[in-house]
Amino acid sequence: MSLFTAVEMAPRDPILGLNEQFNADTNPSKVNLGVGVYFDDNGKLPLLQCVQAAEKTMMDKPTARGYLPIDGIAAYDAAVKALVFGADSDVVKSGRVATVQAIGGTGGLKIGADFLKKISPNATVLISDPSWENHRALFTNAGFTVDTYPYFDQSANGGLGGINFDGMLAKLNGAAEGTIVLLHACCHNPTGYDITAAQWDQVIAVVKARKLTAFLDMAYQGFGYGIAEDGAVIAKFVAAELNIFVSTSFSKSFSLYGERVGALSVVGSSKEETDRVLSQLKIAIRTNYSNPPTHGGAIVAAVLNNPELRAQWEQELGEMRVRIKAMRQKLVDGLKAAGVTKDMSFITTQIGMFSYSGLSKDQMVRLRSEFGVYGTDTGRMCVAALNSKNIDYVCQAIAKVV
């Protein structure tokens, strides 16, 4: 009898499990469209020029690694505020945004969840159906009951799939006061479908009328239509004078996955209130991991706060965005050329790194076993992993299973 006799084997993370399966696959043509990572046209994980330049400057003048403040590097937090809310926005200038550096976007969500559990212990959390796998687990682990609001409907658009916006709005309208609603600010993961600006206005009206708490997960700012364009939804919530939560991730937009750079921002009603909120966010950080690591935040702060590096970053991020869009078009054209008769042009109306392809679990399993093309069982494919060398093979493979 050991302390761990009753410990059950936890299920494997579905996406990381897929990665392991991919790595073990001996098919020389294998393509990994499972994990949500951007690869360049050579199939390589990019190391951005702006990041290399910032690191070079840092290495030329090495600094000691003391503890950071609990809320992270001040210049980093200021840069995140400016990026997410606008440097000249009233909400930032009047001190109504509390921003803390976090361990990736996941860390931002976790700190927000822990703080919310203190102030709204009995609230239910609503996440989209479907959502990023970790949303449910993370808020459940923080002690919340997690439910879903309708989002994707495969039967929409004559079976091609789309957003069930009426269902989403109806669920929010029926939610109890204080319900926490987790929204994907842009580039919805896993579906690739975002609601329109006019639909956001309707969501905001319901959030306000029903006194819900909006938590916006912004893991892909700049991958949709542009940095400012993707951030516009945050300004809409601020204009509606809502107390919102925003988690930020730089994993994708800086290709700094392993550095774990992210943030949490909370909008208060006054500076005095926001200062109190910040003090509580610091408690949540202190009791989780004390304070954040130095390197990733220093890189992002150096890039965002230097006009030349910032311009370089915007260009590099723009190139990633444009390449993904080109791959979407190539996928649509390639599937048609490979003999797929179904109209697949919905792929170009989707946005961000992912595409819900509409393929069934059986078809996804066949893609893996017969062709070494790896996507998730739900039909999600990472279009940011397609490139000019693998696109034809992927199109041929899909054509053979549909």
| 189 near ligand PMP (CB under 6 A) | yes
Q: Between the CA atoms of 279, 280, 282 and 287, what dihedral angle is there, to the nearest 10 degrees?
A: 140
Closest-CB residue for ligand PMP?
104
Q: Find the part of the chain contacting ligand PMP (CB under 6 A) among 65-73, 104-112, 119-127, 373-381.
A: 104-112
**Would you call 313 a catalytic residue per the annotation?**
no
Dihedrals phi, psi of 166, to nearest 5 degrees: -60, -40
| 105 near ligand PMP (CB under 6 A) | yes
User: Could you give the CA distance from residue 339 to residue 399 in angstroms, rounded to a whole number?
Assistant: 6
Return the residue of 85, 132, 193, 223 that touches ligand PMP, per CB under 6 A. 132
**Would you call 93 a catalytic residue per the annotation?**
no
Return the residue of 262, 268, 296, 334 that touches ligand PMP, per CB under 6 A. 262
User: Could you give the CA distance from residue 402 to residue 341 in angstroms, rounded to a whole number?
Assistant: 10
Site for ligand PMP in 198-217 (CB under 6 A): 217
Backbone CA torsion sign across 80, 81, 83, 84: positive
Least CB distance to ligand PMP at residue 190 (A):
8
Q: Find the part of the chain contacting ligand PMP (CB under 6 A) among 99-107, 156-164, 358-366, 384-392.
A: 99-107
| 34 near ligand PMP (CB under 6 A) | no
Q: Find the part of the chain contacting ligand PMP (CB under 6 A) among 48-56, 103-111, 295-303, 378-386.
A: 103-111
152-187 burial: b if 16+ Cβ within 10 Å, else e: bbeebeeebbbbbbebbbebbeebeeebbbbbbbbb
**Would you call 389 a catalytic residue per the annotation?**
no
Least CB distance to ligand PMP at residue 48 (A):
16
| 194 near ligand PMP (CB under 6 A) | no
| 99 near ligand PMP (CB under 6 A) | no
HSE-up (13 A, CA, CB side) for residue 30: 18
User: Could you give the CA distance from residue 203 to residue 206 in angstroms, rounded to a whole number?
Assistant: 5
Q: Applying CB under 6 A, which residues contact ligand PMP?
A: 36, 104-106, 132, 184, 189, 217, 219, 249, 251, 262
Q: What are the catalytic residues? A: 132, 217, 252
